[in-house]
Chains A and B, each alone.
Chain A
Amino acid sequence: MTTRIDKRFAALREKGRAALVTFTTAGDPDYETSLALLKALPGAGADIIEMGMPFSDPMADGPAIQASSQRALKAGQTMKKTLRMIREFREGDQDTPLVLMGYYNPIYVYPVEGFIGDCIEAGVDGLIVVDVPPEQDDELCIPALEAGLNFIRLATPTTDAKRLPAVLENTSGFVYYVSIAGITGTAAPDTGEVHGAVARIKMQTELPVAVGFGVKTPEQARAIAAGADGVVVGSALVNALKASLDENDRPGAATVSSVTDLVRGLAEGLASSQTATVK
């Protein structure tokens, strides 16, 4: 089965360009603003959209995304509202791949079967669930794959050659390479090391590989994109959003554009990487 994600990567490969994958948190700083931002992302140059499902205890995230989860929860975001937001987005956009990213507990209590069904119905294309490793695949990954969702797995600098096949086995859509051993939004990755790691992953899979964690600027994005199929930018966007809020975390007139301006810059950075893209 070809998914929206497969189609998007194929189209970008034709153009010789890496995908810009954006991460923002659903419901940050509130439902309406977050929906407006979501609708504006494709036009600004996001090739694939990752929406964070806010969680009270985001163990793999740094301060920026922790705070963004807290803002969303405080504004009343729930799993049901996140799915409703995606349904509303899909009414006007049938093409842009959309991936939900988050932690397992809110899915587990949803519960799993209902969540997968509602994802399909809402137009979600894939899931990234940080705390469900291959060792627990029968919980969520297999049911999601069987229902037609992509299950995108993280590979990390600690995933050695011996373990990589297990990580890749039930992965679909793309592989998300976590460029640093650490949490989101902190250290900047070393481009050379990242390219080496991506090349090693690509020796074992046909899937596209996107790189994330710590990518902040158009220059960095361009450098990473020279040796990868996609670049994920999250904390930098979340920080731009945060900077546009007032002291009570209320959005201003420029909240959406503060994020989309940055996305536009990143997209231009990637567009100019065209000829550099290997593969």
Chain B
Amino acid sequence: MSNTAPPDTPNTYRSGPDERGHFGIYGGRFVAETLMPLILELEEAYERAKADPEFHAELKHMLVHYGGRPSPLYFAERLTQELGGAKIYFKRDELNHTGSHKINNCLGQILLARRMKKTRIIAETGAGQHGVAVATVAARYGLPCVIYMGCVDIERQAPNVFRMKLLGAEVHQVTAGAGTLKDAMNEALRDWVTNVHDTYYIIGTAAGPHPYPEMVRDFQSVIGEEVRVQMMEAEGRLPDTLVACIGGGSNAIGLFHPFLDDKDIAIYGVEAGGLGLGNPEEHCASMNGGKPGVLHGNRTYLLQNDDGQIIEGHSISAGLDYPGVGPEHSWLRDTGRVNYVAVTDAEALEAFQLCTRIEGIIPALEPSHALAHVQKLAPTLPADNLLVMNLCGRGDKDVFAVAKHLGVEM
């Protein structure tokens, strides 16, 4: 069997998934029978909400008045001068309430959970940004909430653990496996199977069984939709280049999706290259160094050995430290519409410092990966190339970890 689906050239890249949740060969619903009825119920509830103007009005209201949308599209003038080439814009989703794009999805899903009359919220988290966003909306709507987080991530993202607890969430430490995002997701799924009657699972990225990849994408697409309008206002035309980091792929698909059919726009997804792509234990670039498989409810590119056992991978960034990726990205990779590249821990650390020093913005380590690719790409492009990078999270949570990597005692 070939590892890659034959490339097809669809008329539109925006019509997926099909009614069974497939993007090409990817996606689907690979879950235990106990969860199947819930996933079908969720799909029905989401279809109903999607068709209900009241749902959209309520979400819009919360995104604006609670989340702080729209986020600015900011011309990064000094970075543009420094790199010499493309005109670089940042989509400032780090300015959202809770400090990242994760709130866009959490507001959408908590409103859905309320419609479904669910009374308990669970979630997995890696960097803790999704966990904080979930704990935040759970506090806002008065629902008890349990967050699963790997023990390694609890240590490297300590500020977020305390934030979640302040917000009233119970944080469950997961010691299985390598104690990172994959293991947290396993444990959240186990909780869900056990508490099916009252529990809503807010998945934090555009992955998991159908309808999650589609639903999370839809909630995150506000990013790209705003960029379309904002770039027209700023420059009178659409951008030429888009760049975003890829963990599970939610901030990236949110930026990319509204532009997928504008075929002249070059799109780059940046995976975590860790210590380098040579060894699958040392990076998290599933589309550059993995092959298709089935995990966490969907078929997608995965880091795995020849026996189909999942490999933990490694990234300096807890939010990118995941051996899989959302299924729509796998399909966009195979069709060639999006270019997926990888940058290393060291390159991301350097970009983190550059951005902080010359733009006065401390980025999270996740978008620092996108930035590291912008550093390579921008100088190769002409000055009239409009490049948008999704600055999807702020770096406050990372300062302790970065200090450690730089050998600074705090």
Contacts and interface: CB of A to CB of B under 8 A. Distances in A.
B291 A109 contact: yes
B197 to A, nearest CB: 8
A62 B34 CA distance: 15
A211 to B, nearest CB: 14
Contacts, number: 116
A8 B251 CA distance: 54
Nearest to B196: A181
Nearest to A73: B309
Interface string B19-41: 01000000011111111111000
Contacts of A34: none
Contacts of A135: 20, 28-29, 36
Interface stretch (A53-61, A188-196, A241-249, A260-268): A53-61
Nearest to B291: A109
Nearest to A135: B29
A108 B34 contact: no
B209 to A, nearest CB: 9
A131 B34 CA distance: 10
A178 interface: yes
B32 A130 contact: yes
Contact of A56 (B31, B195, B294, B309): B309
A165 B44 CA distance: 20
A158 B309 contact: no
Interface string B261-292: 00000000000000000000000000000011
A154 interface: yes
A181 B199 CA distance: 13
Contacts of B302: 105
Contacts of B20: 135
Nearest to A166: B36
Interface stretch (B52-60, B185-193, B235-243, B313-321): B185-193
Contacts of A279: none
A131 B30 contact: yes
B301 to A, nearest CB: 12
Interface in B85-112: none
A62 B37 CA distance: 21
Interface string B289-326: 00111111101001010111110000000000000000
A175 B21 CA distance: 27
Interface in A119-142: 130-136
Interface residues of A, number: 44
A58 B296 CA distance: 10
A186 B38 CA distance: 21
B37 A160 contact: yes
Contacts of B189: 59
B32 A57 contact: no
Interface string A89-123: 00000000000000111111111000000000000
Given A106-B307, A181-B193, A56 B177 contact: yes
Contact of B37 (A55, A66, A107, A158): A158
Given A105-B302, A131-B294, A156 B34 contact: yes
Contact of A181 (B176, B194, B299, B307): B194
A33 interface: no
Interface in B154-169: none
Most buried by B among A62, A131, A153, A167: A131
Contacts of A56: 177, 309-310
A269 to B, nearest CB: 27
- Which 5 residue pairs spanning A and B have beta carbons closest together? A106-B308, A109-B308, A182-B194, A56-B309, A156-B34
Given A133-B29, A182-B193, A186-B194, 4 more contacts: A56-B310, A57-B296, A131-B294, A181-B196
16 contacts: A55-B308, A56-B309, A57-B182, A57-B310, A59-B32, A59-B189, A60-B190, A130-B32, A132-B30, A133-B30, A133-B32, A154-B34, A159-B36, A181-B196, A182-B34, A183-B193
Interface of B: 1, 20, 28-38, 176-177, 182, 186, 189-190, 193-197, 291-297, 299, 302, 304, 306-310
